[in-house]
Amino acid sequence: MILRSFLRRKSIGITLILSLLFGCISVSGQNGLQAGVIQGKVYDSSTGKPIPNAEVKVWHFSNMDNPFLAITDKNGSFLFRENFSNQSNVFLMLTVDGFETFYKPIYTKYKGENLTIKLNRPKPNELLVETRFRGNHIYGISNGSFYKVYGEINSQDNFFFPDLSNRSAEVIELMKAIGVDGSKALTDEEIYDRCKKVWQFLKQKTKNAMPNNGVYPPEIKPAIDFLFPTVKTGKAVKAWPSINEYAKCLQKFGFIPLQNCTSHSLAAAAFMSLAGIPADNIAVERMTSTFSWRQEHWAVIVKMHGIWYWFDPLWAQADFPSYENIHSIPENTTRNCYNMPFEIVTLPGASINRVPYCGPEGKAN
């Protein structure tokens, strides 16, 4: 199936949706308004002209089925009569036929928001692709592969992958546990081999450590307190665990506790880097769930044979495919939009500058 099979040419009107999730888009906001006030203007970025008659909808967890409504006037302006200061945040999404969808979280509890929204049209060599729960996205073609033109590249190395180059005695022992010697994977077959070894390590030496009603199992709680001390204190995370902290945890407890999909994916990517997979062949993807506009998910993507395959560490108990029949895990996108991430987190030293369309469909036929 090529990417064009995902295109659906139908009129979807002009809809601006405010909901509760994170997103990525170019936008300018102005403070100084009363908390809970939402207003703004909508323009065509190519012409600078305002877009009138756009429906603006707002909903949140307290009002899921009956969204509030505002409509842009002839100047492209909109203003909600309602005040949303009783909500901690809402999520803004604007879909206009022929333009890329706009979406953005708004934290209405502490300030008002005055938005200037500039919508992008696809260029002649680009495609407008419909997605689930995030409207339409613009995809282009580079080196025979599709990519999200306005995708978000996140390269906060010190936050996501602190001290990844550390090779302490504990890290060396971690490498031995994975079954690697520190050499670089130079071919697709070598990348596959290292990826498979990391997958086996995840299966054997990591444990899912999500709490049950806020309580961790007693056999896992000490390891959680060791690797994720902010869980114990309730403070905000300043950085994810370093490779040395993972290694020390394994040495101390015999396993590494991992929590949500973000925790699993960042750890798996760090281990793949440690196993010698080049930084330009690994990333962590962020995508939407297929169930709701409110849910997002994270997974690891690895590039082999010019294709970005996704490997969801939450599925680590699944058998890793053979090299001859390589495929993503899971194979389908029933639960999450693995093939169409809106953001990727890169590894230190990576030169990746585009968010890819993942899976075999990402190859431009």
* DSSP sequence for 341-364: -SEEEEPTT----SEEPPSGGGB-
Q: What pLDDT is attached to residue 30?
A: 47
Q: Is 307 helix (H, G, I), strand (E, B) or coil?
A: strand
Comparing CA positions, the residue from 11, 27, 12, 20 lying closest to residue 102 is 27
Average pLDDT over residues 294-304: 92
Count of beta carbons in the 10 Å neighbourhood of residue 242: 18
Q: From residue 333, how far is each of 133, 261, 311, 339, 351 by CA, in Å?
A: 14, 16, 12, 7, 27
What is the spatial distance between Cα 120 and Cα 101, in angstroms, rounded to a whole number? 8
Q: Which residue has the tokens 């997958």?
A: 199
Q: In the chain, what are the domains?
A: 3-121 (2.60.40.1120), 154-362 (3.10.620)
pLDDT for residue 90 is more than 70: yes
Q: What pLDDT is attached to residue 365?
A: 62
Pairing of strands 14-19, 55-58: parallel
Q: What pLDDT is attached to residue 159?
A: 95
Q: What pLDDT is attached to residue 3?
A: 38
For residues 301-340, one letter each, b for 16 or more C-beta atoms within 10 angstroms of the residue's C-beta and e for the rest, the string is bbbbeebbbbbbbbbbeeebbeeeebebbbeebeebbbbb
Q: pLDDT digit string (tens) for 225-252?
A: 999 987 655 566 788 999 999 999 999 9
Q: What pLDDT is attached to residue 221?
A: 92
> Do residues 267 and 258 make contact, with C-beta atoms less than 8 angstroms apart?
yes
pLDDT for residue 74 is more than 90: yes
Average pLDDT over residues 54-78: 81
The pair of three-digit structure tokens given for residue 32, joined into one six-digit string: 């100084």
Q: From residue 353, how far is each of 4, 142, 151, 260 by CA, in Å?
A: 23, 11, 9, 26
Average pLDDT over residues 61-80: 83
Q: What average pLDDT is seen over the chain? A: 86
The pair of three-digit structure tokens given for residue 290, joined into one six-digit string: 């297929």
Q: Which residue has the tokens 């230190």?
A: 348
What is the spatial distance between Cα 243 and Cα 249, in angstroms, rounded to a whole number? 10
Q: What pLDDT is attached to residue 131?
A: 84
Q: What pLDDT is attached to residue 26?
A: 36
Q: What pLDDT is attached to residue 117?
A: 93
pLDDT for residue 20 is more than 80: no
Average pLDDT over residues 305-325: 96
Q: pLDDT digit string (tens) for 171-209?
A: 999 999 999 999 999 999 999 999 999 999 999 999 998
Q: Which residue has the tokens 């010190």?
A: 158
Q: Is 167 helix (H, G, I), strand (E, B) or coil?
A: coil
- pTM to 2 decimal places: 0.84
What is the spatial distance between Cα 226 and Cα 219, in angstroms, rounded to a whole number? 13
Give the pLDDT band (50/70/90) at residue 338: very high
> Of the ranges 110-114, 276-280, 301-305, 352-356, which one carries the lowest mean pLDDT score?
110-114
What is the spatial distance between Cα 155 and Cα 150, in angstroms, rounded to a whole number? 16
- CB-based contacts of 325-328 (< 8 A; 24+ apart in sequence): 326/192, 328/358, 328/359
* ∠ CA 160-156-25, rounded to 5°: 115
pLDDT for residue 294 is more than 80: no
Average pLDDT over residues 116-141: 90
Sheet architecture: strand order including 27-30: 27-30, 113-119, 38-44, 77-79
Q: What pLDDT is attached to residue 27?
A: 43
Percent of all residues in the chain with a pLDDT value above 90, rounded to a whole number: 60
> Of the ranges 3-7, 114-118, 122-126, which one carries the lowest mean pLDDT score?
3-7
Q: What pLDDT is attached to residue 109?
A: 80
More confident residue, 16 or 354: 354
Q: Which amino acid is at 166?
A: N
pLDDT for residue 36 is more than 80: yes
> Do residues 363 and 142 make contact, with C-beta atoms less than 8 angstroms apart?
no
For the ranges 19-28, 212-221, 323-332, the one whose mean pLDDT is highest = 323-332
> Do residues 127 and 149 make contact, with C-beta atoms less than 8 angstroms apart?
no
More confident residue, 104 or 306: 306
Average pLDDT over residues 328-351: 94
Give the pLDDT band (50/70/90) at residue 291: low
Distance between first and last Cα of the chain: 9
Comparing CA positions, the residue from 122, 57, 62, 66 lying closest to residue 93 is 57
Percent of all residues in the chain with a pLDDT value above 70, rounded to a whole number: 87
> Do residues 288 and 134 make contact, with C-beta atoms less than 8 angstroms apart?
yes
Give the pLDDT band (50/70/90) at residue 293: low
Q: Which residue has the tokens 């204190």?
A: 233
